[in-house]
């Protein structure tokens, strides 16, 4: 008998498994349909001995010391600040758009105050910011929107930015200074020996039993457990009874090059005519020294593993129907990007799992004051 069956060995499920096993002395069965732990952060050494990220680049960044220190129990850190260039008008210029971007793109020498004046002169002010297009044209105008965001967004989402929630482009700020960093969080680093190594240490506990290549529905009637934590797709859990929630996926095309370096930064975005959205060179991220280098091209697609929930009103209406149905599920918690149909950064997933762990413990303590917990008395909660 397991205390907890956790579906999904990515960050959401693995952090909960570690907390429940090490802090609450619970017996946990952690399963995943893939053949590895680590979810989308899984990395490995390819046939040339280069450490690569199987599912595209994952850069850890957070403003939370608690989360940074928590992961630090399972990895040493390599300080790393991510820089992204965009291929625009035959130049490689920094993104997010900043003072350096404007000066390079237009052959100017504007000061920080003059850059703000430049943006103001181009901006098309909106009374309401409702869509991704609104966010950008309101801040920097239509010309920069066309160069950096419109076509990239269409490739990424197969939708015009005017049809997407404002949250999509709001994730990429506009700056008036010369800060070329993609992220400005207080803590920015990469696991020194890779994410997979970190996950092995995270899950190295005698109370945790791991089963890979295992589908939840093939197992659920064969294993005895008290409580389920589900970080898989919520629509799949309910057999798509309200229809399938749409996601964007990515086809990754990897290539090893017989050269020490390929490009000047970890990632270069291609917002214009190319079919791919970006190229990442992993050695920038990992700091690995190697005579060769490995890159990956990303081609967004509608089919494949679910990576990005599509933030549109009609999709949230479908999700909310599933969420309402899930409330009636006994002893079941839905969490993670797929379980709650929301795009999260890595630190947000960890924060969600740490918060859910505290809720679970509080619920158990409350029940223990009154009566033993019975499997039929649980209620579904969302982290």
pTM (two decimals): 0.93
Full DSSP string of 349-368: HHHHHHHHHHHHHHHHHHHH
Length of the chain: 383
Given a cut of 60, is residue 71 above it in pLDDT? yes
Each residue's pLDDT tens digit, 75-106: 999 999 999 999 999 999 999 999 999 999 99
DSSP, collapsed to helix, strand or coil, labels residue 95 as strand
Joined together, the tokens standing for residue 3 give: 């205390």
Going by C-alpha positions, the residue among 44, 287, 49, 56 that lies closest to residue 189 is 287
User: By the 8 A CB rule, do 95 and 172 touch?
Assistant: yes
Joined together, the tokens standing for residue 173 give: 């700020």
Given a cut of 60, is residue 377 above it in pLDDT? no
Each residue's pLDDT tens digit, 120-133: 999 999 999 999 99
Cα(180)–Cα(98) distance, integer angstroms: 7
- Residue 178: pLDDT band (50, 70, 90) is very high
> What pLDDT is stored for residue 372 in this prediction?
45
Count the Cβ atoms, other than its own, within 10 Å of residue 261: 11
Given a cut of 60, is residue 262 above it in pLDDT? yes
Given a cut of 60, is residue 374 above it in pLDDT? no
CA atoms within 13 A on the CB side of 137: 17
The angle at the Cα of 286, spanning 262 to 148, to the nearest 5 degrees, equals 55
> What pLDDT is stored for residue 370 in this prediction?
59
- Residue 375: pLDDT band (50, 70, 90) is very low
Count the Cβ atoms, other than its own, within 10 Å of residue 63: 12
What is the overall mean pLDDT for the chain?
94
Joined together, the tokens standing for residue 239 give: 């057999």
Each residue's pLDDT tens digit, 350-372: 999 999 999 999 988 877 765 54
Average pLDDT over residues 242-262: 97
Each residue's pLDDT tens digit, 15-70: 999 999 999 999 999 999 999 999 999 999 999 999 999 999 999 999 999 999 99
Going by C-alpha positions, the residue among 314, 309, 329, 157 that lies closest to residue 237 is 329
> What pLDDT is stored for residue 273 in this prediction?
81
Cα(110)–Cα(117) distance, integer angstroms: 10
> What pLDDT is stored for residue 368 in this prediction?
74
Joined together, the tokens standing for residue 356 give: 């859910």
Joined together, the tokens standing for residue 297 give: 């091209």
> What pLDDT is stored for residue 376 in this prediction?
33
Q: Which of 128-132, 169-173, 293-297, 313-317 has the lowest mean pLDDT?
A: 169-173
């Amino acid at each position: 008998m397991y205390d907890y069956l956790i579906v999904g060995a990515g960050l959401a499920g693995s952090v909960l498994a570690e907390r429940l096993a090490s802090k609450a002395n619970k017996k946990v069965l952690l399963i995943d349909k893939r053949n590895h732990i680590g979810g989308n952060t899984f990395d490995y050494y390819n046939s040339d001995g280069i450490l690569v990220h199987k599912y595209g680049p994952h850069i850890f960044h957070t403003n939370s010391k608690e989360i940074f220190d928590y992961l630090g129990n399972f990895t040493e850190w390599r300080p790393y600040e991510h820089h992204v260039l965009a291929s625009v008008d035959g130049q490689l210029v920094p993104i997010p758009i900043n003072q350096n971007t404007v000066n390079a793109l237009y052959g100017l020498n504007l000061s920080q105050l003059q850059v703000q004046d430049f943006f103001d002169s181009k901006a098309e002010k909106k009374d309401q910011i409702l869509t991704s297009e609104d966010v950008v044209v309101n801040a920097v105008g239509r010309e920069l929107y066309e160069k950096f965001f419109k076509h990239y967004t269409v490739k990424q989402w197969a939708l015009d930015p005017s049809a997407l929630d404002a949250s999509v482009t709001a994730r990429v700020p506009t700056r008036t200074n010369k800060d070329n960093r993609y992220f400005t969080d207080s803590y920015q680093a990469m696991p020194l020996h890779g994410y997979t190594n970190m996950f092995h240490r995270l899950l190295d506990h005698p109370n945790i039993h791991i089963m890979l290549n295992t589908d939840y529905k093939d197992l659920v009637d064969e294993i005895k457990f008290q409580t389920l934590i589900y970080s898989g797709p919520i629509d799949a859990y309910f057999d798509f009874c309200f229809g399938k929630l749409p996601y964007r996926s990515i086809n990754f095309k990897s290539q090893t090059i017989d050269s020490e370096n390929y490009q000047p930064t970890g990632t270069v975005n291609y917002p214009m005519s190319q079919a791919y959205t970006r190229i990442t060179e992993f050695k920038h991220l990992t700091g690995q020294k190697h005579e060769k280098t490995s890159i990956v091209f990303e081609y967004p697609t509608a089919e494949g593993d679910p990576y990005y929930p599509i933030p549109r009103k009609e999709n949230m209406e479908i999700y909310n129907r599933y969420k309402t149905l899930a409330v009636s599920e006994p002893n079941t918690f839905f969490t993670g990007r797929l379980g709650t149909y929301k795009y999260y950064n890595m630190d947000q997933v960890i924060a969600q799992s740490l918060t859910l762990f505290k809720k679970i413990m509080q619920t158990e303590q409350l029940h223990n004051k009154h009566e033993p917990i019975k499997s039929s008395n649980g209620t579904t909660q969302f982290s």
